[in-house]
Every structure is written in C-alpha cells, then in structure tokens.
C-alpha cells in the first residue's frame, strides 16, 4: 500500500476565470454587468486571500495552475487537491434560478476544460444551484461519467435547512452517481439566504466569521432528523470549512433528545450520532487551536475523527492552514486517516498520481495568461 | 462557612398566573383576547411539562408554591430557586412594544406579590421587553431596591444579536443595579424574531430544540465582539438552558480569529475567551450526556466550569434534570462550585435561608387556588 496517497487537500480554491465562452449568448449581458453574485457583505481589511499567494507572473491567488502546484502542492507534498473554486457559490443565492443554473454549468465546464485537464492531481467539484434542486440533479448527472469530478458542491447558505425534502433530488442524483455532497461557507447572509444568525445580522467580518459554523450545525441536524441518510443510505455529506469542535455538543444533544422525542422521527433507526459518524465528513481548516493542544485531540476522540475528519488547507485564503503545522500530536493512525485515508476512500483516490509528466504546462500557461486579462468583475469571495 | 447554600437551582419555572389585576385597564381587552404571546410553533406530542409535576390539588405544573417546594426543593435539598416564570418571554416579541412593556411590568409585580412573598427561598427574575431597551432599563430600575429580584431576564430570541448598541441601555441599568442579565430559550422563531436558523425554519420540535444553542453562540459572540464587557465591566450575562459543550469551539474560534482580525475590534483588550470566562455564566440543564461521561468532564475543564457553570433543573419542564443524578463524577471543588458556589456569588445568596417558618402558607394557598381559576389562555411555552 506504499502507493496510497499520503496527503489529500480537500479544500483548495482555484480561480475559475471568465465564464463568457461557456455561457449561452442570452446571458452574456447579465454576466458582463453582474458577474458571479455576490461580493463581500462583511468587509475584512486584511482581505480574504493570502498576499503571498499571488502568482509570480500576476493574476489573483489561485489563478495560475502551475504556481498553485509549486507554491502549495509540491511544497507540502499534497498528492491531490480537491478544487472548490472561488467566488462561485453565490450562484445558489440569486433570486433568478435560471441565472444560477447557467452559471453553475459554465463554471463546471470551465473547471473541466481549464483545470482538470492540466493535472491529474486536480480533482473537481460539480457546482450546483441548490435553489433549483431538479436542475442541480440534472447538472450532477451531466458530469456522472467524468471520474475527475469527485463531489457535488453548494453554498452552505440556504433558504431552508438542507435536510428538507425540497433538496432530495440533489441527494438522489449524487447517490446515483456515487458522489458526496459538500457545502462551503462564506455566502451566509447574502442574496436570497436569510440573516446569518437566528437573531439577525452580526456587525463585522470577525463576528460573522466566528459564527459561520452555526449554519453547519443547522444542516447536519436537519439532514439527520429528516431521515436523509435512511432515504439515501450511501450518501456522504461533506461539511467543508465549518469547524470541528462543535460536533460533540450537537451529537450529544441530538442523542439525548432522540431518547425522549424519537416518536417524532420514526424513520430513524439509530441514534443521531451514529448517522453523523457514518455520513458526515468535516474538513480541518480553520482548525481550532486551544492553548492546550491535547484538548483538541480529546475532541477528535469524541467524534471518531479517524472516520469523520479530513485535512484541508483552504489555500490561498487568508487563514489557510499549513499542512506541516496544522495537526497537533495525536495517534499516528488517526493522523494518517485525517491526512489522506478518509479522503482517499471518499473520493476514490486510492493510488498516488503519476507525479512527473502529469502537468500539461502548455494548458497551464494558457490559463495563467488568460487570468491576467479576465474581466474586472467584483468576484464574490468565499472564506 | 457551613452556613453557605449547597444547592441553588438557577432555572425553576413558576406559573405567573393571571395578570389582569396588574395591568392598566386600557390593556384588559387585549390581554383577555391575546394573553401572553406566543404559543407553541413547534408541537411536541409529549408536551413541555412533566406529567408528574402536576400539583396534587390541580392547576398547571409550577403553579402551586407549596407543591413546588415540597415536590422539588425539599425533595432535593434546593436552598434557593431562581424563578424564571412560564410562558412569559414572548412579551419581547410582540410587534407592539407598549404591550410588551405593560406585560413585563405586570409579570414582575405579580412575581413579587405572589411568589417572592411566599418564601425567602424563591428569588425572582425581572422580566424585560428587550425590544424596547429604554423601557426595559426603566423597569429594571423600578425593582432596584428589591433584594429578592436577583436578575434581569429576557427571551434569547431577538431581532438583533444582543451585543449591539441598541440593547446597551439594558446593560447600563443592570450594571448600575448590580444585576446579571439572563436569557432563556424557547421563543426562537416566534413573533418578530427571525427564523430560528441561518437557513430558515427547521421542521419539527426535536430538530428545533436540538439547534436552539446556536442562538446562544450568536449572542455570546456578539456581546464579546461588540465590547459590551469593556463598556460594562461589572456586567454578567447568564445563558440559561442553552447547553454547555459548544463553548470550547466558540472560545477557540474567536481567539484564533482575534489574532488575525483584532484591528476590527480595537476596543477588546484581552482574548475573547477571557471575557467569556469572566462574564458569561451557563446553566447545566439540559446537560449533555455522552456515553462516556468523562468526555463531558473534559469539556468542563476546557471552559473553566468552576467559574462559568451553574446547576439548573428546569423544573417542571419535560426534560428537567434531577439534581441528584445530573452531574457526572468530577473534582469535588468543581462540583461544589457548580451546585451552588458560583450562583451564590452571582446572586448574592451567601447564606442558607431559614428553612422552617419561612413559607407563608396562607399566601401560598391563595395562589394555588387562584391558579385553578385562571383564564384559559393559550400560554406560551418556554423550553
């Protein structure tokens, strides 16, 4: 098994680039005027990208495939990067679902053509417009035959908790295609999503960022309580960049309430925490860093982290985690599972990619140059 | 110090009873038609009260002071009960702030006349209408001279996170009067508050109940980030019935983000977690019960529980915790602090009450009989 990958990065943000060539003509005017919805609602004066992740020859961070490989993947020995795009997720939050649908399709086509073709070390996410689940399901199936598209990805911001039956066509298609469904934060409070907290709008970027995981608790709770994992028993749900240490509380509270209230969820056959460990996957960044690192390891044991947690860097975002320094001392087997084992199983990446000769330098060059000339949209930012 | 209380219950729900005699005549019609806003939005088929907490001579649970003392306080050796009312908190969520204000005043007058007069073992909460902070501040000051009113209490459901400056008149008055400000859940999603999650409305009572603590995270985050504890350095904020085990995650995430984003909150002089340990108090019920109880004790150590956590039973609600069985094995000093020490300091209850002769049986009798004849309103239910 020495051929198995040792480091899979489950959240790497690639700049998607101009969508114009991928959009039907009818949408070109809107795309020129609006771009991808939505820009920053909460302003951070330090920005949302690492300043030192600017590619050497220019363009925004994450826009140059070769630089991304050398600056991040080769530097830290990342075998595979699961690409999650940049500024794309707001497409689920446009009032007009048709605009969201064409944007999703264009992003996916561009992902395939300009990123997945560059290197087998890049694996793609299928962006879907969660506000139109039937269209989202069709988009998932359109990519079913492409083994380099390894998950479905949608904004964590939503009008309804993700367990509700409105969304089930997405899970049906994902299960059919053998793909996990992932959510990514950063659009909370934007577009047609509601306020980012049960008590309305927080004030500043830091406060908003601190509290993003509450939306993840909302979705995990909903998915389990609504019986999604009984209806779609092979489905996995990936909670990208939503924190980790809140999970013991949610599991314990759900299990306790289940004991008293299980008659209201008769479709559940096991404790909520059992569905969570089997079906929910969390990514590490931004990892919690208590002053006593062993306290975080205690949390990892509480949630069976060897099954549930996967490494992510969030490169090239402002708070990205260094693969060499992120994980505290923990049992070796648990660390191996977090760094690669669980992701290898989830995404079907059982062997290392062929390293050399695997990057199409010509194509990478074309993408990098193009990104220098891409239109000057206000691009939405994820976290 | 053998005279110190050994068990203080920080969340006991007393039935407030009819407010008509305490309301100005102008509001009698509305009170007769509407009562206290709001009833159950999420229906639980097992109800929200313990069936075995019905008083022997009838009336709703928590309506008979003598039965409450014998059924709960004497049975478990509770020295003091901090009374938090029943079905009252929706008064903050009525669209009409004037109605909320008169209801709050009437509840408080009735609390003083009919409960605090019965026994020195009852200590009262000053209900305030958080939607009208200036009026709330006046209501707090109206009770400043009454040593039996030991805290300010408002709904955790709100239109804005509780750190925002709109609410500061409440904290100003509470600090001036030396009273902690407490929140209690159960009205999330009702009245003029927003949806109970960042992604809208959960489906059923269990799902809604599981996720209530996210609103507590919202408020604690907001109070700290907005600098409330720098502006009001003597203020304590009590998070009643909102869970405990989520706090490590929030503290760690806030501290990590503070390191990078502190320029956006220049009024903070310490790490967010330090404000939390000094100013936030949590109550135990519904206590989390992992299969391995020592995991919960690990959590207690992470949050300095000897300073931050206070015992509560939530009597007579459906999921109330038995004082004798709730707390797992933990260091003796920590347990003493949780059972009484921290609450004794917070509420100024430094000595045991005189037990015998302390209950006004005549008054208690009057209240119990009256509750049998109280109007048949749909009373809002807290959790």
- Express each pLDDT in A154-176 by its tens digit: 999 999 999 999 999 999 999 99
Burial group, residue B345, by CB count within 10 angstroms (0-12, 13-18, 19+): middle
Note whether B261 contacts A200, CB cutoff 8 Å: no
Q: Is the pLDDT of residue A322 over 50?
A: yes
- The per-residue pLDDT for B310 is 98
- Looking at the partner chain, which of A202, A225, A251 has a beta carbon nearest the beta carbon of B161? A202
B189, B219, B264: residue with CB nearest A45: B264
Structure-token pair, residue B222 = 């907001």
Q: Would you call A206 and B258 a contact, using CB atoms and an 8 Å cutoff?
A: yes
Backbone angles phi, psi at A179, to 5 degrees: -115, 140
Domain ranges of chain B: 8-376
Q: What is the pLDDT of residues A365-376, one digit of tens each?
A: 777 777 666 544
Q: What is the pLDDT of chain A when averaged over all its residues?
A: 93
B112-B116-B118-B121 Cα dihedral, nearest 10 degrees: 180
Q: Is B243 on the interface with A (CB under 8 A)?
A: yes
Confidence category of residue A380, pLDDT binned at 50, 70, 90? very low
The 10 Å Cβ neighbour count of residue B231 is: 15
* Residue pair A170/A140 in contact by the 8 Å Cβ criterion: yes
Q: Tell me which residues of chain B, numbers 88 to 147, contact chain A at a CB-CB cutoff of 8 Å.
A: none
In terms of CATH, what superfamily is B8-376?
Metal-dependent hydrolases (3.20.20.140)
Task: Inspect the interface and report whether the beta carbons of B246 and A246 lie closer than 8 Å.
Answer: yes
pLDDT for the residue B335:
97
Place of tokens 């795009």: A85
Which whole number is the average pLDDT over A100-108? 97
Per the CB < 8 Å rule, is A206 touching B245? no
Q: Is A288 on the interface with B (CB under 8 A)?
A: yes
ipTM of the complex: 0.94
Instruction: Please give the pLDDT value at position A379.
Output: 44
H or E element that contains B216 = helix B213-225
With an 8 Å Cβ cutoff, are A197 and B198 in contact?
Answer: yes
Cis peptide before A286 (omega within 30 of 0): yes
Phi, psi of A379 (to 5 degrees): -85, 135
Q: A113 is written with which tokens?
A: 């053509």
B-chain residue closest to A300, CA distance: B295
The answer to whether the Cβ–Cβ distance between B44 and A261 falls below 8 Å is yes
Q: What is the pLDDT of residue B239?
A: 98
Residues of chain B with confidence (pLDDT) below 70 = 1, 355-359, 371-383
B215 at the A interface (CB within 8 A)?
yes
Chain-chain contact of B264 with A205 (C-beta, under 8 angstroms) = yes
pLDDT of residue B90: 95
Taking alpha carbons only, the member of A205, A225, A207 closest to residue A217 is A225
Q: Which residues, including other chains, have CB under 8 Å from residue B270's CB and lie 6 or more apart?
A: none
Cβ contacts below 8 Å, chain A against chain B, sum to 245
Kindly state the average pLDDT of the residues A320-332: 93
- CA–CA dist B268, A37 (Å, integer): 34
Classify B322 as helix, strand or coil: coil
For residue A316, whether the previous peptide bond is cis, meaning omega lies within 30 degrees of 0, is yes
Residues 6+ apart with CB under 8 A from B309: B244, B281, B282, B283, B284, B300, B303, B337, B338, B342
A81 membership: H or E segment, kind and range: strand A80-83
* Cα diameter, chain B: 62
CA distance B165 to chain A (A): 10
Q: Spell out the alpha helix ranges (H) of chain A.
A: 28-34, 65-68, 75-76, 97-110, 133-142, 168-177, 205-211, 213-225, 228-231, 247-261, 272-279, 293-302, 305-308, 332-336, 342-347, 361-372
Comparing CA positions, the residue from B274, B339, B273, B333 lying closest to residue B312 is B339
Calculate how close chain B gets to A26, using CA atoms only, in Å.
32
User: With bands split at pLDDT 50, 70 and 90, how would you rate the model's confidence at A381?
Assistant: low
Alpha helices in A13-167 (DSSP H): 28-34, 65-68, 75-76, 97-110, 133-142
User: Rounded to whole angstroms, how far apart are CA atoms B209 and B314?
Assistant: 15
Residue found under tokens 């639980």: B44
Beta bridge partners of A237: A181, A280
Contact A66, A365 (CB under 8 A): yes
CB–CB contact A206 B222 (8 Å): no
Rounded CA-CA distance B143/B146 in Å is 6
Residue A362 binned pLDDT confidence (cut-offs 50, 70, 90): confident
* Model pLDDT, residue B355: 61
Burial class (CB in 10 A: 0-12, 13-18, 19+), A373: exposed
Predicted pLDDT at A383: 67
CB contact (8 A) between residue A203 and residue B161: yes
Integer-rounded Cα Rg, in Å, for chain B is 20
pLDDT tens digits, B12-32: 999 999 999 999 999 999 999
Q: What is the dihedral of CA B339, B345, B350, B353, to 10 degrees?
A: -60
């Amino acid at each position: 098994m020495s051929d198995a990958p040792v480091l899979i990065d489950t959240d790497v943000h690639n700049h998607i680039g101009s969508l114009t060539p991928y959009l039907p003509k009818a949408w070109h005017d809107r795309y020129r005027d609006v771009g991808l919805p939505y820009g920053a609602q909460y302003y951070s004066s330090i920005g949302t990208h690492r300043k030192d992740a600017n590619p050497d020859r220019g363009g925004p961070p994450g826009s140059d495939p070769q630089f991304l490989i050398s600056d991040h993947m080769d530097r830290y020995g990342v075998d595979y990067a699961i690409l999650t795009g940049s500024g794309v997720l707001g497409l689920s939050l446009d009032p007009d679902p048709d605009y969201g649908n064409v944007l999703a399709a264009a992003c996916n086509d561009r992902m395939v053509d300009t990123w997945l073709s560059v290197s087998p070390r890049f694996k793609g996410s299928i962006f879907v417009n969660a506000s139109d689940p039937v269209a989202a399901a069709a988009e998932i199936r359109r990519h079913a035959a492409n083994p380099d598209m390894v998950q479905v990805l949608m904004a964590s911001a939503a009008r309804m908790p993700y367990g509700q039956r409105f969304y089930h066509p997405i899970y049906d298609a994902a299960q059919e295609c053998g793909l996990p469904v992932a959510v990514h934060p950063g659009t909370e409070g934007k577009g047609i999503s509601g306020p980012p907290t049960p008590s309305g709008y927080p004030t500043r970027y830091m406060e908003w960022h601190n509290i993003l995981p509450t939306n993840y608790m909302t979705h995990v709770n909903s998915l389990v309580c609504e019986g999604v994992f009984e209806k779609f028993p092979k489905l996995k749900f990936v909670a990208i960049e939503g924190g980790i240490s809140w999970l013991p509380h949610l599991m314990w509270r759900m299990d306790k309430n289940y004991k008293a209230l299980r008659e209201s969820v008769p479709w559940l056959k096991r404790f909520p925490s059992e569905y969570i460990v089997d079906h929910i996957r969390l990514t590490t960044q931004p990892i919690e860093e208590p002053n006593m690192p062993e306290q975080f390891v205690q949390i990892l044991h509480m949630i069976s982290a060897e099954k549930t947690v996967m490494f992510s860097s969030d490169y090239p975002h402002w708070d990205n985690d260094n693969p060499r320094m992120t994980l505290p001392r923990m049992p070796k087997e648990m660390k191996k599972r977090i760094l690669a084992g669980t992701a290898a199983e989830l995404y079907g990446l059982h062997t290392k990619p062929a390293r050399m000769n695997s990057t199409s330098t010509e194509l990478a060059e074309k993408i990098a140059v193009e990104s220098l000339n891409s239109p000057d949209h206000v691009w939405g930012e994820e976290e």
